[in-house]
Chains A and B, each alone.
Chain A
Amino acid sequence: DSGVTQTPKHLITATGQRVTLRCSPRSGDLSVYWYQQSLDQGLQFLIQYYNGEERAKGNILERFSAQQFPDLHSELNLSSLELGDSALYFCASNVGQGPGNTIYFGEGSWLTVV
């Protein structure tokens, strides 16, 4: 158990809908990272927050947004969903401002868009 908690574990929704994925980082970690993993794809970095502020941005679509709250939990909002958004979404956390020390991953949220 990495200490990173993600909910929901599985989610099935229709095209055009909006979903919110939630992440609680490890106790004491200030950075939260979001990654997308599609079938046969590697881990694509979406976005990082550090202590409530956006720190780094990757290949995140405009239909997607994220935020980190004062209690350090984070949410990833996916809107106007398309079939291609079906993927495993991982949240990860670490104590520092960047990826220069160990990043711990949650178990992921499986999103299926039908």
Chain B
Amino acid sequence: GENVEQHPSTLSVQEGDSAVIKCTYSDSASNYFPWYKQELGKGPQLIIDIRSNVGEKKDQRIAVTLNKTAKHFSLHITETQPEDSAVYFCAGPSNTGKLIFGQGTTLQVKP
């Protein structure tokens, strides 16, 4: 089937700490895994993505890891800042042409 499970649904961290959000997927044909950040009243914005031919990708304080065997991928945010507070969505494409989103994680970074 086509399903992307995302955990946790809410995450609260102190400024400067790290945050990790995990997603699992069921479609073994998936090969592209983007992460989106959605701020209040705005559309989702791509922050990082990874393809199945690599296991990890970094962009400054953000990194994504992918484990194809276990069918899970994770978003890591280091040295969190208050402006990182938002809703984060993982996603994966299905073999029927859809981009399936996780349920979202509300991240709160407390100053």
Task: List chain A positions with a Cβ less than 8 A from chain B.
Answer: 2, 4, 33, 42-43, 45, 48, 55-56, 58, 90, 92, 97-108
Closest to A42 in B: B103
Interface of B (DSSP majority class): strand
Q: How many residues of B contact A (CB 8 A)?
A: 22
By a beta-carbon cutoff of 8 Å, the part of chain B in contact with chain A is 31-32, 34, 36, 42-46, 49, 89, 91, 93, 96-104
> In the complex the two chains form, is B31's CB within 8 Å of A100's CB?
yes
Q: How far is the CB of B11 from chain A (nearest CB, A)?
A: 16
Interfacial chain B residues near A98, Cβ < 8 Å = 93, 97
**How many residue pairs at the A-B interface have CB separations less than 8 Å?**
56
| Contact yes or no, A58 B98, CB < 8 A | yes
Task: Give the CA-CA distance A51 to B37 in the complex, in Å.
Answer: 28
Identify the interface centre among B42, B46, B49, B98: most chain A CB within 10 Å of its CB.
Answer: B98
Docked-complex contact A99 and B99, CB < 8 angstroms:
yes
In the complex, are the beta carbons of B98 and A103 less than 8 A apart? no
Whether A2 contacts B31 by the Cβ 8 Å rule is: no
Residues of chain B lying within 8 A (CB to CB) of residue A107? 42-43
Return 9 A-B CB contacts under 8 Å, by A number.
A2-B45, A42-B101, A42-B102, A43-B44, A99-B91, A100-B93, A102-B49, A106-B43, A107-B42
